[in-house]
A and B are shown apart, each in its own frame.
Chain A
Amino acid sequence: MNMLRSAAIAAISLAGLQAAMADAVVASEVLMTITTTEGEREYDLQALQALPQTSFSTSTIWTEGEQEFTGVLLSDLLSDAGITDGEIMATAINDYAVEIPLDEIDDIAPIVAYHLNGEPMSVRDKGPLWIVYPYDMSVDYQTETNYSRSIWQLDRIVQAD
């Protein structure tokens, strides 16, 4: 399992590097806001890409065939925003919302993906941000909780009280 996981991390890192190079032309449009007790913070693609990049390939139950996702680890994003414990409420454009406890996220999954197969995602493609797990890596990721937390069209995260 550990070996498998290490191999996956290596693959993700490599893929991330490629995606970063392909994304030269991106508008600095605000993609999401993170609201903490301190205040509100906005992230555009550039800001997200400035954070450590993670990439993996997996199939999902919502798509056809294997897809390559590139993005930032949710844990990295939250710590960048200054959230280190407690829970967050992640909400999509259509107001779909789900709570995620911080102690259930780690340095492997989930990520906030901003590229699908190296391309930015439109809203029609469940973009521009999509919380995904490497479902194929382990059946442990193939749970309804994880599916419910896999929010597409993510546009805001609020630190829960």
Chain B
Amino acid sequence: MRYGFGSRRARIGLGLFFLVIVTAVVGVLHFNRDMRDQIQALSRANSDSTQWFLAQSEVEMFALRNAAMALIAAPGGDLEALRNRFDILYSRINTVEFGQNFAQLRQEPAVATALQSVKTMLADAIPLIDGDDATLRAAAPDLLDRINAVAPDLRTISLEGISHFSQTSDARRQTVVATLDELAGIILLLFIVLAGGVLFLFLTIGSIIAQRDSITLARNRLNALFETSIDAIVVADHRGTIRNFNSAAERIYGYTRAEAIGADIRDLLTPPERLEAVEALLERLRRGELLVDDNAAGITQSRALHKQGHTIPVEVSVSFNEDRDGNLLVAFVRDVTHRVETEAELIAARDRALEGEQAKARMIAVMNHEMRTPLNGILGTLDLMRDTAPTADQARYLAAMQHSADLLLHHVNDVLDASRTYNEQIQLNLTPFDPAATIRDLLDGLRASARQCGNELTFESFGQDDRLLLGDVGKIRQVVVNLVGNAIKFTQGGQITVQLDRIGGSGLIELQVGDTGTGIADQDLDRIFDEFVTLGSFFDRKAEGTGLGLAIVKRLVTAMNGEIDVVSELGEGSAFTIRLPLAIADETASIAAQDLTPANVVAHRDDRHDDRRILLVEDNEINRLVAREILKSYGCVVTEAVDGMAGVEAAQHHPFDLVLMDISMPRLNGVDATGRIRAGDGANAATPIIALTAHATPEDLARFRAAGMEDALIKPLDRAVLKALLDRHLVRRAPLSHPRPASDLASLLGADAAADLLDRVRRELDDGLARLSEAPADMEPDDLARLAHKMAGSAAVIGQESMRVALARLETGFRAARTPQSREMMRKDASLLRATTDCTKLQIRT
């Protein structure tokens, strides 16, 4: 219907059709009265055979005359015949005089005169006819004369009648003809209308048939889709009654179509735990509301109830459709059993892998804490014993013990180093080596690539000193490869010279890499060591790279306590000079490789720290003893606390110059204790707090800093390291390993790189906060904690202290979030932080 009678043309056609019908009906109605009158008039014969009647009158007149003549011929004849004939004529004339048929005829003057004449004759004859027989017989001739006298009058009436009734009949015929013409016209009109109607109906039926066909086709297609769908399709009305059920649904649910249709979707297909959700969906359907976003967006993970009682994991997508009697719910259900099984296997595999990781992590923690704590005790105690004037034998034994313990510590540290995947601090792996041989070998490997650029690579070694040096060969190689690689890259058909010079008798070496390449402009020389610097016009397209090469060289050299210089002349070439203060291998007894504090220890054994007040918070008695004795040996006044609570208590009232805080303690751990001291208004809110810990990962160090600790001392305690720490924190209070003073950024990195860095930090914080506030499902709480930690570090770099603290809190929170609730709480905190902070507007703060 919608495509037929809804279209504009069809509506106009229909309107016209009705208009014509109405016109015809009005015409017929109008015509009808006239017509009916005509029919009435025709059906009623308002005349006898009038002309016959008039002629018969003449005949009767002649019959009377004959009777009269017969009487004259035979005077004794029968009078009754004459009388009878008279009466018959009389009755006829009477009829002409009074009959309705002749009313109009009588109006004709000739007729009126003639009739009057006949009537007079008859009236005059009556006394004779009704008189006695003798008189009648005598009057017969006279009567005959009278009769003959009116014969022309009767003739006149008859002839006038013919003329009159012909005219009347003609007039009536005309009327009938006109009426029939009108009738024919109306019939023609009706025929046209009906023909038009038939045509219209024919056309309409044609389009209806076409529509029906296309609807049938569409329905067949839908049916085919419905039936061949791999996904189950279940259609239900708002009461939950199943209205349709395809073959895939039969397969998934186990019911036949006949069983399913008419049943209730909740009773039949819904597992108990999904009832509420399905009911809510049906309620929305009943109210005619839209789908909630979760459903509308697409796929819901759910479970389907099979006929045999078990449930199947499925994905469901739902839509609402309008139907004649209310809305319909159409659910597409996909069996995801196989996928869920695969996922489960993957998850199990991942869990096993994670378990392995956790086992490894546990082992490292055991190494860290359970092994290093007793080692701490052994080494510390050995240290103390040497100060107790041992005998020569004892000293020898002590040395052996010390050696063994050091070795053991070395092994433990090796394992820890290897396990570290992320470390901001460069670990030096010092081994004895021959610098000239090492570099010569290295250059032999680079010569080929130098030749490719047409460069000649030469090596010269000065200073005849073949004692081995102690250094990190890997890092030294890395430095040389970077510098020579750069030289090759920026030199075409030139000379690259590497010179090694051992200066004096010390381990100091000077290494120079010179080239005859493009050189560096003066204004660029100051910033080539900044991170991420590429010299646009100068470092042309050949310079593929991150711009980190020289920065890494600088970092490595700095980590080895060396320095690097460059001289260059644009177009002439460049020369990089490195000076590394290495130790002579033979002379180096031991290395504080285990020192995780940023600065290498240069112990000032002579310095004492008399009367400095130290709060030592440590639950392990041996550790406490060792630390206390070492501290005392430097003249410090030591107050001891056996756990975090006691530490906080002690710190509340007595001011200290330094707090040494163990991390793992009963009742209150070191991090929390530090937080309380920092947050409180006690005497030591601003006192430097040093972590004592076996937890040595960078994340841990960051966490300690986030809690407000200035530095960390990795157990086991080493006298020299502890001394260096005291020197640092007791002499100048400014925290060294506290987040880098931001004011230095520009001077450290250069203005451009600082701006670049700020930009990157802003982006990192912005992106990171977005992730934290979403806490995506694929991120474990530890991942989130790590992210927060990394962000806290970045915030610290640009001096955003409050941001750093907030992020550190998030890090702690996420790390502790073991339940979905706590995780969600932290997520909300992150959202709040995100909402209140515009990371893109953060500035470097001093």
Assuming the A-B contacts A93-B84, A152-B91, are A61 and B44 also in contact, with contact meaning beta carbons closer than 8 angstroms in the complex? no
B43 smallest CB distance to A (angstroms) = 6
Mark each residue of chain A from 62 to 96: 1 if its CB lies under 8 Å from any CB of chain B, else 0. 11100000000000000000000000000001101
A93–B56 CA distance with the chains assembled, in angstroms: 13
Select which of A60, A61, A64, A123 is within 8 A of B91 by beta carbon.
Answer: A123
Assuming the A-B contacts A147-B45, A148-B48, are A123 and B100 also in contact, with contact meaning beta carbons closer than 8 angstroms in the complex? no
Which B residues, 86 to 120, have Cβ-Cβ distances below 8 Å to chain A?
87-88, 90-91, 94-95, 98-101
A64–B98 CA distance with the chains assembled, in angstroms: 5
Q: Is B523 an interface residue (CB 8 A)?
A: no
Contact A123 B84 (CB under 8 A): yes
Chain A residues near B49 (CB-CB < 8 A): 144, 148
Q: Is B250 an interface residue (CB 8 A)?
A: no
Q: Is A18 an interface residue (CB 8 A)?
A: no
Chain B interface, DSSP helix/strand/loop, else mixed = helix
Assuming the A-B contacts A139-B40, A147-B45, are A94 and B95 also in contact, with contact meaning beta carbons closer than 8 angstroms in the complex? no
Q: Is B47 an interface residue (CB 8 A)?
A: yes
Contact B98 A61 (CB under 8 A): no
Chain B residues near A147 (CB-CB < 8 A): 45, 47-48
Q: Is B595 an interface residue (CB 8 A)?
A: no
Considering the complex, give the chain A residue whose CB is closest to the CB of B46. Answer: A61
Q: Is A23 an interface residue (CB 8 A)?
A: no
Assuming the A-B contacts A142-B44, A142-B45, A144-B49, are A126 and B98 also in contact, with contact meaning beta carbons closer than 8 angstroms in the complex? no
Q: Is A125 an interface residue (CB 8 A)?
A: yes
Which B residues, 228 to 283, have Cβ-Cβ distances below 8 Å to chain A?
none
Contact A142 B46 (CB under 8 A): yes
Assuming the A-B contacts A124-B94, A139-B43, A143-B45, are A93 and B99 also in contact, with contact meaning beta carbons closer than 8 angstroms in the complex? no
Chain A residues near B91 (CB-CB < 8 A): 123-126, 152-153
Q: Is A59 an interface residue (CB 8 A)?
A: yes
Chain A residues near B63 (CB-CB < 8 A): 94
Considering the complex, give the chain A residue whose CB is closest to the CB of B60. Answer: A94
Contact A62 B48 (CB under 8 A): yes
Contact B88 A61 (CB under 8 A): no
Which A residues, 142 to 161, have Cβ-Cβ distances below 8 Å to chain B?
142-144, 146-148, 150, 152-153
Contact A153 B44 (CB under 8 A): no
Considering the complex, give the chain A residue whose CB is closest to the CB of B63. Answer: A94
A63–B91 CA distance with the chains assembled, in angstroms: 11
A147–B46 CA distance with the chains assembled, in angstroms: 9
Contact B94 A61 (CB under 8 A): no
Chain A residues near B88 (CB-CB < 8 A): 93-94, 123, 153
Chain B residues near A148 (CB-CB < 8 A): 48-49
Considering the complex, give the chain B residue whose CB is closest to the CB of A122. Answer: B87
Considering the complex, give the chain B residue whose CB is closest to the CB of A143. Answer: B45
Which of B43, B44, B90 has most chain A Cβ within 10 Å? B44
Contact A62 B87 (CB under 8 A): no
Mark each residue of chain B from 687 to 728: 1 if its CB lies under 8 Å from any CB of chain A, else 0. 000000000000000000000000000000000000000000
Contact B90 A63 (CB under 8 A): no
A62–B56 CA distance with the chains assembled, in angstroms: 15
Mark each residue of chain B from 34 to 67: 1 if its CB lies under 8 Å from any CB of chain A, else 0. 0000001001111111000000100010010000
Select which of B47, B60, B84 is within 8 A of A61 by beta carbon.
Answer: B47
Contact A63 B99 (CB under 8 A): yes
Mark each residue of chain A from 44 to 63: 1 if its CB lies under 8 Å from any CB of chain B, else 0. 00000000000000011111
Chain A residues near B98 (CB-CB < 8 A): 62-64
A61–B48 CA distance with the chains assembled, in angstroms: 8
Number of A residues whose C-beta is below 8 Å from B? Answer: 24
Contact A62 B99 (CB under 8 A): yes
Contact B84 A62 (CB under 8 A): no
A125–B49 CA distance with the chains assembled, in angstroms: 20
A111 smallest CB distance to B (angstroms) = 18
B111 smallest CB distance to A (angstroms) = 17
Contact A62 B46 (CB under 8 A): no
Select which of A93, A124, A144 is within 8 A of B48 by beta carbon.
Answer: A144
Contact A124 B99 (CB under 8 A): no
Select which of A59, A60, A62, A144 is within 8 A of B45 by beta carbon.
Answer: A144
Contact B101 A61 (CB under 8 A): yes
Considering the complex, give the chain B residue whose CB is closest to the CB of A139. Answer: B44
A123–B87 CA distance with the chains assembled, in angstroms: 6
A143–B49 CA distance with the chains assembled, in angstroms: 11
Contact B101 A62 (CB under 8 A): yes
A22 smallest CB distance to B (angstroms) = 23
Chain A residues near B100 (CB-CB < 8 A): 59-64
A92 smallest CB distance to B (angstroms) = 9
Which A residues, 98 to 154, have Cβ-Cβ distances below 8 Å to chain B?
122-126, 139, 142-144, 146-148, 150, 152-153
A64–B102 CA distance with the chains assembled, in angstroms: 11
A142–B99 CA distance with the chains assembled, in angstroms: 15
A158–B190 CA distance with the chains assembled, in angstroms: 53
Chain B residues near A125 (CB-CB < 8 A): 91, 94
A97 smallest CB distance to B (angstroms) = 13
Chain B residues near A122 (CB-CB < 8 A): 87
A80–B47 CA distance with the chains assembled, in angstroms: 32
A61–B87 CA distance with the chains assembled, in angstroms: 20
Chain B residues near A62 (CB-CB < 8 A): 48, 95, 98-101
B809 smallest CB distance to A (angstroms) = 110
A94–B101 CA distance with the chains assembled, in angstroms: 21
Select which of B40, B46, B90 is within 8 A of A124 by beta carbon.
Answer: B90
Chain A residues near B87 (CB-CB < 8 A): 122-124
A144–B94 CA distance with the chains assembled, in angstroms: 21
A63–B44 CA distance with the chains assembled, in angstroms: 17
Considering the complex, give the chain B residue whose CB is closest to the CB of A64. Answer: B98
A148 smallest CB distance to B (angstroms) = 7
A156 smallest CB distance to B (angstroms) = 14
A63–B87 CA distance with the chains assembled, in angstroms: 16
Lowest 7 A-B CB distances belong to which pairs? A123-B87, A144-B45, A64-B98, A142-B44, A147-B48, A62-B99, A124-B90
**Which residues of B are in contact with A by a Cβ distance under 8 Å?**
40, 43-49, 56, 60, 63, 84, 87-88, 90-91, 94-95, 98-101
A-B contact pairs, 19 of them (CB 8 A): A61-B99, A61-B100, A62-B101, A64-B98, A64-B99, A94-B60, A123-B88, A123-B90, A124-B87, A124-B91, A124-B94, A125-B91, A139-B44, A143-B43, A144-B45, A144-B49, A148-B49, A153-B88, A153-B91
Apart from A62-B101, A142-B43, A144-B47, 18 more pairs, CB < 8 Å: A60-B99, A60-B100, A63-B95, A64-B99, A64-B100, A93-B84, A94-B56, A94-B88, A123-B84, A123-B87, A123-B90, A124-B87, A125-B94, A139-B44, A144-B49, A148-B48, A152-B91, A153-B91
